[in-house]
Amino acid sequence: MPHHSKKSGSSFSPVSNWLVTISSSAHFWPIVLLAILTGIFFYQVTLGGQVLFFGDNLSLRLPSAIYGWQRISQGQLPLWNPHIFIGMPYLADISNAIFYPLSLFYLFLSPLQALTYQTIASIFISGLFTYLYCHALRLNRFAALSAAISYMFCSTLIHYTSYANLLGSSVWLPLTLLALHQSFTSPHRYWWLLTSISLSLQITAGHPQPVYYTALLMAGYTLCLFPFSSLLNRLATLALILIASLGLTAAVLIPSLELTNLSTRSQINYPAATLDSLHPALLVRFLLPSFFDQPQLGMTWGPAWRHISDNRGYLGIVSLVLISLGWPLLSDSPYRRYYYFFIATSLIAIILALGNFTPIYHLLFNYLPGLNHFRGPAESLLVLNFSVAFLTGISLHILSKSNFHLQPIIKYYAPTVLLVLISFVIANFYFDQFWHAISVFHTLARDQIIFTTIVTDTSLALLLSLATLILIHYHRPVFFLGLIFVDLYLHNASQVFTISPQTIDTSSIQAHQLQRLLTPADRFISNQDLEVFTGLGNYWENMTIRPPFADSYYTPQEKSSAAILNTRLQSLALDWNLPYHLSSPNGYSSFLLTRYLDYLDGQVSSLPQNSPPVSAFTDTKLDELSVRYLLTPTGIIPRGSTLPRARVIYSGQATPAQILLDQPEHLSILAQATSASQLVLADSYYPGWQAKVDGQPATIIPYQQAFRSLQLSPGTHQIEFTFKPRSWYLGSRISLITLLTITIYFWIIRHDLFASTTHHP
């Protein structure tokens, strides 16, 4: 174990000391303030009783969570999901986040409420641990709170309120760095364990990309910020943390790695991986987030077109002014190393976010291990936002101890303010005269919105920066907390989408009809090919874009009634068959098995990576997939003849086999073979499925690459299929052994752990 020498001084238990620190009156009110600000930011929920309902949360997270927690509440471990595609491993899909502690909300609340309160709790957690991290580095209380507010309400985290897995894997980043920092600066050996636990929480939350960025940040933090400590000790501590985290989460990671290797995620090429690269022109939105769009008026322009809902990456004018003013005062500051480190991480994050717009990303994609498994380079803006938040705290801490004079800046500032004021007047009162004199582009109304939006955004930025300068001049750090919050609220709150739970109706008459019609041998498919927010247009974009300049059916009436949304939910849009345990060969998922897509495509698959289109399901495929019913806007239509899901094949002829027991992880089939033949089950061929014929083990072989099959001798046979994935049992054993090893270790050193020593962050 890495060794840290003990330091003398007043004594406290290292475990109780941190808990006392958090709960002491000095930190009680800051934590209460963060809770109050969280409630204000999400006032539609806390005061209006609304719920979050949007994005991947609605199309992917909710139906999958409903299925998983239904089974858990019945005392079953959901290893397999037979109801999307032709079966998918459930626990192996890391995005299902069954082992993530905040997912327990689904046991006690309705799904929409669980999602909503999990999201709000996540935002608060991010602020709490950012505050404690800054406190550990001895920033003053106002500086620590300013960093916390900057991170918890930053553009990236608020954008992630529509992506539960991304949010959950991001909010523990401050705790991970806090515990890592203490691992190198504190003599107490429990900090490395807390780092491992925090990193494990990021892993179990269900999205590996923030975890990957956190690991890179941890490596840089370890190598760059502690020159006074032995490099060997630091690397040993980091290795111990990573090994413990991987061991604790092996039950999640090993099945997920197996699924990844068998899915389209293992085949991400460079164009697909960089599809969501940040356009360089959009960097201006770091300062002026509405420079290329005015969604409330139905407008986007320039490179922002079709990127209206993407993370703007807004950094906060107040934060940027503080950082730029703090820079010249660093020469004698003990935080100089941290300042330069997080400036460097900010620049690296921007380079990563630009993706294929820079040649650097192509090199990193090829040579930086692990990066080629991720899509969406712009997700690295998480690191940028955290770095800027921490730099905000350092800058306010430095500035609060310095003398700052406003007059030298005002004389340069005033002409800019005057110019913007003139532009604002022109935009709002004289734009038609101005436009007729110079414009040959667009229309008057369109150009006026573009010009007015840019001028208004610039005016607000100047107003916020001027307020920042005045507060620094008069040494009023407490007011910065409100100013930072107002800045981020004005620019980021529009990315939070809520709705009254009374307007959401997930009950489906067609689902209940299908439950009565479908036998274990049958499936259905919808010909609508819809996710809950796609179809006639994009429900997502219509949430933000309003008339007059967009073809929008998301009107105030739609928001109050959710008519289109409810129609899609009731019509069993993709994955919303899961709450009813109805089986369809289609679906929407983070992972698609390569074998299945190749079966549908007839070649190395060129189909989408999250959901195959209905056009891929030809009549022949529907027959082979045992699709008995079509779900159409006019009702349920029987298809007529189709091949049975379990069938005995001999000389090209198929006769049905009887399914005696149909459970997700266990099937029992009675089959009659008149001669040597083959039993085909039109379910996914996947490692972990075991078969017995008349009680004797049998070998499962792939049929048409996608289905399960086995050889039968003449006679009547009872076949058992059981899902017992080795990856899960191996992973769970490793996790258990790791947990026991850590427990025994800390039991052995318990006297040292609770010895009287001083804690010096």
> CA geometry: angle at 17 spanning 16 and 20, to 5°?
80
Q: Are 216 and 209 in contact (CB under 8 A)?
A: no
Closest CA to 4 of 234, 186, 182, 180: 186
Cα 397 versus chain centre, distance: 32
Average pLDDT of the chain to the nearest whole number = 83
CA atoms within 13 A on the CB side of 85: 30
3-state secondary structure labels for all residues of 682-725: EEECCCCEEEEECCEEECCEEECCCEEEEEECCEEEEEEEEECC
C-alpha span between 9 and 325 (Å, rounded): 37
With H, G, I as helix, E, B as strand and everything else as coil, classify residue 370.
coil
Average the pLDDT over 169-187 and give the result.
91
- What pLDDT score was predicted for residue 567? 80
H or E element: which one contains 390? helix 381-399
Band (3; pLDDT cuts 50, 70, 90): very low
- Those residues with Cβ within 8 angstroms of residue 123's Cβ, 6 or more apart along the chain or in another chain: 38, 41, 42, 152, 153, 157, 158, 161, 167, 171
Closest CA to 44 of 507, 717, 497: 497
C-alpha span between 587 and 609 (Å, rounded): 11
Q: What is the pLDDT of residues 735-746, one digit of tens each?
A: 999 999 988 887
- What pLDDT score was predicted for residue 623? 92
- What pLDDT score was predicted for residue 532? 55
> CA geometry: angle at 585 spanning 579 and 589, to 5°?
65
C-alpha span between 212 and 224 (Å, rounded): 18
- What pLDDT score was predicted for residue 531? 55
Band (758; pLDDT cuts 50, 70, 90): very low
C-alpha span between 220 and 632 (Å, rounded): 55
Cβ atoms < 10 Å from Cβ of 495: 23
Q: What is the pLDDT of residues 273-297, one digit of tens each?
A: 888 888 888 888 899 888 887 766 6
Q: Cα separations (Å) of 321 from 324, 325, 642, 751?
A: 5, 6, 68, 49
Q: Cα separations (Å) of 738 from 188, 240, 247, 503?
A: 20, 12, 6, 47
Residue 607 has pLDDT above 70, yes or no: no
- Those residues with Cβ within 8 angstroms of residue 210's Cβ, 6 or more apart along the chain or in another chain: 166, 169, 170, 173, 202, 379, 382
Cα 409 versus chain centre, distance: 42
Q: What is the pLDDT of residues 477-487, one digit of tens each?
A: 788 899 999 99
pTM of the model: 0.89
Q: Are 462 and 417 in contact (CB under 8 A)?
A: yes
Residue 154 has pLDDT above 90, yes or no: yes
Instruction: Enumerate domains of the chain plus CATH numbers.
Output: 14-400+475-495 (no CATH), 646-724 (2.60.420)
C-alpha span between 380 and 178 (Å, rounded): 20
DSSP 757: B
- What pLDDT score was predicted for residue 756? 40
Q: What is the pLDDT of residues 287-331, one digit of tens each?
A: 988 888 776 666 667 665 554 456 788 999 999 999 988 888 887
Band (572; pLDDT cuts 50, 70, 90): confident
Residue 407 has pLDDT above 80, yes or no: no
Residue 722 has pLDDT above 90, yes or no: yes
Checking phi first, is residue 9 left (phi over 0); if not, alpha (psi -120 to 50) or beta? left
Instruction: Specify the long-range contacts of residues 649-658, CB closer than 8 Å, at least 24 apart.
Output: 649/677, 649/678, 649/679, 649/680, 650/674, 650/675, 650/676, 650/677, 650/678, 654/680, 656/521, 657/719
Q: What is the pLDDT of residues 447-494, one digit of tens each?
A: 777 777 888 888 888 888 888 888 887 777 788 899 999 999 999 988
